[in-house]
């Protein structure tokens, strides 16, 4: 496990050098077979016309929203794929209503209960893997035929253990974990895109 920082640093450059070193070590220890499994689940869902949902809290919520852009618009560009992607964190009014009237722990599960169906995919993004609203969403998804992909860090938490696919970042620094989660999201989107493009078009395309 890459724990950082363990001491104070006198300059931003020194901190930055160790940050990047920690980032690289954590990235090298990711089980890329899990990334292959995630890509296969996503492609099967797209080909079947099923929907992909994403969710997270804080910085992970921003990645969940960003995922919609890169997987829907990015994957579609230059391919025959048409992903159906939705972020469960994008509608502030709905989130606040559920949180206020029912509880924040239910904010993602409650949405899935109304709109998700068997064959869909849920991507959860949680550094700890233990956020109650994330865990409840994964539990509901698994009980209702929705495939689950968990992006986690630190010890992985409950969502890593519950999900069909666990892409775990072995690091104990929120910035490092979130940076790599963002990279994994980009990696999956760009992989799906280039795999379904005319090979001759790939060198001339900006990814």
Whole-prediction pTM value? 0.96
Q: Which long-range contacts link 155-159 to residues 24+ away (Cβ below 8 Å)? A: 155/128, 155/129, 156/129, 157/126, 157/128, 157/129, 157/130, 158/129, 158/130, 159/124, 159/126, 159/129, 159/130, 159/131, 159/134, 159/135
Residue 123: its H or E element: strand 121-126
The domains of the chain, with CATH numbers, are 30-201 (3.40.50.10490)
CB 59 within 8 A of CB 203: no
pLDDT digits (tens, 9 = 90+) for 54-105: 999 999 999 999 999 999 999 999 999 999 999 999 999 999 999 999 999 9
d(CA 65, CA 82): 18
pLDDT digits (tens, 9 = 90+) for 93-138: 999 999 999 999 999 999 999 999 999 999 999 999 999 999 999 9
């Amino acid at each position: 496990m890459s724990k950082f920082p363990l001491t104070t640093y006198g300059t931003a450059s020194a901190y930055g050098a160790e940050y990047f070193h920690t980032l690289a070590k954590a990235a090298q220890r990711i089980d890329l077979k899990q990334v292959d499994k995630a890509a296969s689940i996503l492609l099967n869902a797209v080909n079947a016309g099923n929907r992909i949902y994403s969710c997270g809290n804080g910085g992970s919520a921003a990645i969940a929203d960003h995922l919609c852009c890169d997987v829907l618009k990015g994957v579609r560009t230059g391919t025959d794929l048409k992903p159906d992607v939705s972020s469960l964190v994008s509608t502030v009014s709905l989130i606040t209503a559920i949180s206020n009237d029912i509880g924040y722990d239910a904010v993602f599960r409650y949405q899935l209960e109304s709109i998700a169906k068997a064959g869909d995919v849920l991507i959860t993004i949680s550094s700890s893997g233990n956020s109650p609203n994330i865990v409840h969403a994964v539990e509901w998804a698994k009980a209702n035929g929705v495939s689950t992909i968990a992006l986690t860090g630190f010890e992985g938490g409950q969502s890593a253990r519950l999900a069909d696919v666990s892409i775990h970042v072995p690091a104990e620094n929120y910035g490092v974990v979130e940076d790599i989660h963002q990279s994994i999201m980009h990696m999956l989107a760009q992989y799906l895109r280039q795999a379904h493009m005319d090979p001759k078009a790939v060198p001339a395309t900006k990814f």
